[in-house]
Structure 1
């Protein structure tokens, strides 16, 4: 999964274009067989979790006051600084980011999975569809091809009285045409959109679903479901 955050935009653009070869910003080099060298970044908590008690032992509570919702992420996910954001091609800005499986490859930063949340104007079903499609395409397209994105049917949900929608977007690029050897070719983006008193809130989970490229484990499917199941309006 490509990292497309504003704070490291220069690195992300280089990764998306797959133009770095022998000289890299982090000192990564190709090995004798031409495979890119990967450096795994240990999870580091750079933002304090909410003091609220999680429903799962050891998990971290994320409290997004602006979006009007809260959710939980596993203990081995790194909470990013408050200054980091991710903006989709649809214009949605996600904050309160958390990462899993971060690694450096060919001078750029990648990750196996991420979460983020924000607020978007509109009907929850329409918002969930638009955000899921945009972020899936953003994360898995590269300089050579646009990812094929398949959307699930919107699933209505009610969380603590708040009505909303869950939708899943599966994205894939053809492995034989991928220029970026550092990135996965398949992934899934799940969006939970809830109608809250401050507007439509979204929580996004994106994760690689194949382990192509670096030997970095993908996120556990049960934990990904646990994240989306934990989304609630703020009490």
Structure 2
């Protein structure tokens, strides 16, 4: 997954200009012809919300402007407030977090991310549109467009706020991927809630294919707990 700040790029969450101040050029392949990848420790660059997390040790991400909050594990890094991610559908996400950062062929990648923002329209339609857009943004590259499959929308209610959860699974043909450092499969989940601020969204995405690299994927239990933690700030 390849996240590029301000605009979304193709994936394995390549955080260009992201958590590291400098990126050293890594050369060479392993014995199987794959590029070498080096995992790097996450760097917190903003403080978590002082609100107590439901899961001990987790961090609360609070987006007052969008009227939502949620929790992420302690090993997810909170990016600077100024960093944003814009989808091809025009939605701008802030309050970004990253997990599983690694360097490969001179670029920085990550296994998972989250962000929040506001969108126009009904929560069900907005969740589906945004999930499809970000999944395609993240897993397409210069050689091919990712195949994106949407789940059926799941209605939910969080502290009285009604909303929708949609998952988008994305995949590209591994043999045709130009970027050999990037994952070829992943899932992007969107929770859209009707809040006092309008339709508020929390987005989180994660690789589901490690391409043989010794860089851990985000656990399904953690991703489920992130989804369960999303609440309105009203």
The verdict on a shared fold, with TM-score over 0.5 as the criterion, is: yes
Indicate the SS of the match to 1:191: strand
Deviations 1:106-137 (A, max 9, x none): 12121100000001111101110110000000
- Gap runs ≥5 in structure 2: 14-22
Alignment correspondent of 1:155: 154
CA distance in 1, matches of 2:12, 2:148: 21
More moved, 169-178 vs 206-215: 206-215
Q: CA deviation at 1:13?
A: 7.6
Contact 1:136 1:170 in 2 (8 A): yes
Indicate the SS of the match to 1:6: coil
Alignment correspondent of 1:3: 3
- Gap runs ≥5 in structure 1: 17-24
Deviations 1:61-92 (A, max 9, x none): 00000110100000110000111111100001
CA distance in 1, matches of 2:129, 2:93: 14
Alignment correspondent of 2:25: 27
CA distance in 1, matches of 2:222, 2:101: 17
Indicate the SS of the match to 1:104: strand
Alignment correspondent of 1:133: 132
Q: How many residue pairs end up in the alignment? A: 225
CA distance in 2, matches of 1:52, 1:196: 19
Please state which structure has a larger fraction of its residues in helix: 1
Indicate the SS of the match to 1:224: helix
Alignment correspondent of 2:72: 73
Runs of 4+ in 1 over 6 A off after TM superposition: 13-16
Q: CA deviation at 1:213?
A: 4.7
- Change in Cα spacing, 1:109 to 1:122, as seen in structure 2 (3 Å) is same
Give RMSD over aligned pairs: 2.0
